[in-house]
Amino acid sequence: MVDAVIINFKRPRNVEKIIEALLAQTVKCRIIIYDYFKSTENRLNPEILEKVDIVFSSNVNLGGFNRYIPMGFYTSPYTFFIDDDVLPGTKCIESFLEAAEKLPNFGVLGQVGRVLSSDDLYRPKDVSSSADFREVDFIVRAYFVKTRYLFNVLRYKWLLGYHETKLIEDDLLLCCALKHYENLPCYLIPFDGDRERLINKEELSNLHSLSSRRDHYALRSFFIKRVMIYGWNPIHRRRTLDET
């Protein structure tokens, strides 16, 4: 039912732990690795790779957008993208499948999200899961989608003319694309307190993370301004429009 996608770039030991965690899920998933193989010191252990279903090797690095490059290989009904600095619990994918059955009309499901304030600037303020579904503007760190909608990411990238940077804000792009083309919102899934359901039962090393860029939040805020020019509106603006 689920293709689980991980990028291997500069944290191979993290990726190896995540692969083992995905193999231990209560619901079986197909594991797909985008492996940027240019530096030998960041190679994955061959014994670990033998446990993976598909390895897509490339010398191209587009940051988080790497996860979309092998899109043609994603053939399960759902795709689960997970960053390489979080270790999921054993019931993580099970919890997303349960949520997808309860709330079928979604764009992106996650456990950590962002809601913009009235100034529309991106800030690293987590909106965490609660006992019920909660709509957010963006899902970050790990995101669960219906595979059949993923082609909209490429459509939206071309609509925006978003080609001038290699380090594309891939998570924001996904959320906005599914809202723009499918009118499907993003939701945090319910959380009952069981840590085995978490995307981040354990936090892993975030060395080399994009969030450590000096201009990380400025670039994300710039992206938000860009998509708003093309008609995307955050929750607070949509509510204002609905009231009027």
pLDDT at 166: 78
Nearest to 138 by CA among 118, 108, 158, 99: 108
48 DSSP assignment: H
Tell me which residue has tokens 């840590």. 195
d(CA 36, CA 39) in angstroms, rounded, equals 8
Helices and strands per DSSP (H, E), number in the chain: 7, 13
> Are residues 111 and 95 in contact, defined by beta-carbon separation less than 8 angstroms?
no
Range of the domain at 32: 2-243
What does pTM read for this prediction?
0.95
CA 37 to chain centre: 22
| CATH code for position 189 | 3.90.550.10
Which two structure tokens, joined as six digits, stand for 148? 């059949």
d(CA 134, CA 148) in angstroms, rounded, equals 23
Spell out the per-residue pLDDT of the chain, length 244, in tens: 999 999 998 899 999 999 999 999 999 999 999 998 777 778 999 999 999 999 999 988 888 999 999 999 999 999 999 999 999 999 999 999 999 999 999 999 999 999 999 999 999 899 988 999 999 999 999 999 999 999 999 999 999 999 888 788 999 999 999 999 999 999 999 999 999 999 999 999 887 677 777 889 999 999 999 999 999 999 999 877 666 5
Count of domains forming the chain: 1
> Are residues 86 and 143 in contact, defined by beta-carbon separation less than 8 angstroms?
no
d(CA 65, CA 168) in angstroms, rounded, equals 6
